[in-house]
């Protein structure tokens, strides 16, 4: 229920496609064969926000992805941090390999490269069987998120 509410809220606030988030999910399915949500709330960097030292290689991949998106904004390829989550880009999946299509939209090209890079990074590791948590404020946010999720059921 919560993901549906969040998606509805974001669609209301940003009446465009969930390009980047949708594409990351699909690139993950193309190359890894499973849902990118396997990484949500993993460690200090996977999911919303990110801080502290990554707890392991998987978390380091997520940190790299966050910083890749940040660079796209810093270089003014993308307008704002929130825009990077909704800007759409085109890519193709052939034989379990994703390939970004050439684009005249610099933001879309950068986001596709970031998403492809994080999935390639995740390939080095097994699919997470559990979600180790981060300490500090990130952990507090994860606990609040879990409590809200429990409250909704």
Cα separation, 131 vs 48, whole angstroms: 14
Catalytic residue among 115, 120, 145, 153: 115
Catalytic (active site) residue 115 = yes
Cα separation, 102 vs 29, whole angstroms: 21
Given the structure tokens 């429990």, which residue do they identify?
150
Say whether 136 counts as a known binding-site residue.
Answer: no
Catalytic residue among 65, 87, 88, 145: 65
Q: Supply 52's token pair.
A: 């502290």
Q: Supply 51's token pair.
A: 């801080």
Q: Supply 128's token pair.
A: 């997470």
Cα separation, 115 vs 37, whole angstroms: 14
Say whether 47 counts as a known binding-site residue.
Answer: yes
The annotated binding site is made up of 47, 49, 66
- Which residues belong to the active site? 65, 115
Binding-site annotation: residue ranges for Ca(2+): 47, 49, 66
């Amino acid at each position: 229920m919560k993901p549906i509410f969040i998606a509805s809220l974001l669609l209301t606030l940003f009446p465009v496609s969930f390009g980047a988030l949708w594409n990351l999910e699909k690139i993950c399915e193309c190359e890894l064969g499973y849902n990118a949500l396997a990484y949500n709330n993993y460690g200090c960097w996977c999911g919303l926000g990110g801080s502290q030292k990554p707890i392991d290689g998987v978390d380091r991949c997520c940190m790299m992805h966050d910083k890749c998106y940040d660079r796209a904004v810093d270089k003014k390829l993308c307008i704002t941090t929130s825009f990077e989550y909704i800007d759409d880009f085109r890519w193709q999946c052939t034989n379990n390999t994703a390939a970004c299509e050439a684009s005249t939209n610099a933001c879309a090209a950068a986001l596709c490269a970031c998403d492809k890079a994080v999935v390639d990074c995740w390939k080095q590791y097994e699919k997470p069987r559990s979600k180790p948590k981060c300490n500090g404020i990130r952990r507090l946010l994860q606990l609040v998120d879990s409590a809200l999720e429990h409250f909704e059921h």
